[in-house]
Structure 1
Amino acid sequence: MVVCLGLALAGCSSSGNDSLAQQANAGGEKGYVAGDGSVSEYAPEQRGEPVQFEAEMFDGSTVSAESLRGKPAVVNFWYAGCAPCRAEAPDLVALHHEYQDRAQFLGVNLRDQQPTAEAFERNYGVDYPSASDLNGAVLLALSDYVPPQAVPTTLVLDEQGRVAARVLGKADKSTLDALIKDTVAESA
């Protein structure tokens, strides 16, 4: 798995201006590659096919991309040891409460065992579900939008399950709010 992620990161380094590739190549001890905070929005006519994935939840049930269709969804890739993930958690919780009737939220935990993930969720009041992606299946399925090791990354899916927006790195609350609001308005 580590070799595959390393190869994937190496493949992303074709541009000398790719900050994610530069961070990965530089190494370091922080344990993650921080996104640069860039935001990508996709107009409805420019969106690809609906995303496809299936993941196991920490309670043993499964979630699929199909189960998120019907209303917009926010999918956040995180893990407990990621400082930007801890910093954005309160904002994600607040937005979940604001949009709970109009948009679904799903966390995708990339590294933690269940007790660690649950401790993080209790500590930050995260009350939306998170899937475990220790095997990297969700990350691989969404690799067109989520660079390996770029944590956190947040996707906003439209009601059809297509990627409407992406934030690499810590999501600014007001920016994410605007992205969700725009996507919710499309489905109204």
Structure 2
Amino acid sequence: MKARLLVTGLVTAAALALAGCGAPAGDPGPAPASGGTPAATSTGGYDFTVATLDGGTFDGRALAGRPAVLWFWAPWCPTCLGQAKQVNALAAEYEGKAAVVGVAGLGDVPEMREFVRMAKLSGFPQLADEQGLVWKQFGMTAQSTFVVLDADGAVAARGHLDAGELPDTLDRLLAG
């Protein structure tokens, strides 16, 4: 009986941890394993290629030369759904100056497409990172997380940031 209660408690704790949408605001998440920026290669953090939800292929190197916001979301995340309107507005406001890219994970493509439809996401690419390649590259362990990259692909900010505060970070990068 005690073993069953212990297992039930552990399963419940794990489910609650997974059901939440990540760590507290401002949590920078795990540091890159190399001590530098994630994917410290000759093309910096922009060195990734992954499928898009519309059936194409997205090459991160196309973002080089301008700041970018990567929004890591999951199709079942209520916090992500709540952020969608602000992220849409951010993408529209910075069109041509900085890129916004949705990086869907922790689900399958049909669920991701349904989330995009339900959230009315448009005007910026949505990546279908089913294998978690981009998530791993940037050390993501939870959804509803943002990574802001500078023009060289170095991480300028990361974590469970308020989407409403992202313009300040982008403006700073664009001015510098």
Matching residue's letter, 2:168: A
Does residue 64 of structure 1 match 2:59?
yes
Distance in 2 of aligned mates of 1:116 and 1:33: 17
Does residue 140 of structure 1 match 2:130?
no
Structure 1 pair 102–54 and aligned structure 2 pair: CA distance change class (3 A): same
Name the counterpart of 1:103: 98
Distance in 2 of aligned mates of 1:108 and 1:66: 15
Contact 1:65 1:161 in 2 (8 A): no
User: TM-score under structure 2 normalisation?
Assistant: 0.75
| Structure with bigger gyration radius | 2
- Give, in angstroms, the shift of residue 25 of structure 1: 10
Superposition pairs of residues 68-107 of structure 1, within 5 angstroms: 68-107=63-102
- Give, in angstroms, the shift of residue 69 of structure 1: 0.7
- Give, in angstroms, the shift of residue 32 of structure 1: 4.4
> Which segments of structure 1 move beyond 4 Å, counting only runs of 4 or more?
none
Does residue 31 of structure 1 match 2:19?
yes
- Give, in angstroms, the shift of residue 92 of structure 1: 0.5
User: TM-score under structure 1 normalisation?
Assistant: 0.71
Name the counterpart of 1:5: none
Name the counterpart of 1:175: 165
Query: Secondary structure of the residue that 1:27 maps to in structure 2?
Result: helix
Superposition pairs of residues 104-123 of structure 1, within 5 angstroms: 104-123=99-118
Name the counterpart of 1:17: none
Contact 1:35 1:153 in 2 (8 A): no
Q: Deviations over 1:50-97 (max 9, x none)?
A: 213221112332223212112111101101210110111111111111
- Give, in angstroms, the shift of residue 182 of structure 1: 1.3
Name the counterpart of 2:154: 162
Give the superposed CA RMSD.
Answer: 2.4
Name the counterpart of 1:131: 127
Query: Secondary structure of the residue that 2:93 maps to in structure 1?
Result: helix
Distance in 2 of aligned mates of 1:91 and 1:79: 16
- Give, in angstroms, the shift of residue 113 of structure 1: 2.8
Unaligned runs of 5+ in 2: 1-10, 29-35
**Pairs aligned (count):** 152
Matching residue's letter, 1:35: A
Name the counterpart of 1:184: 174
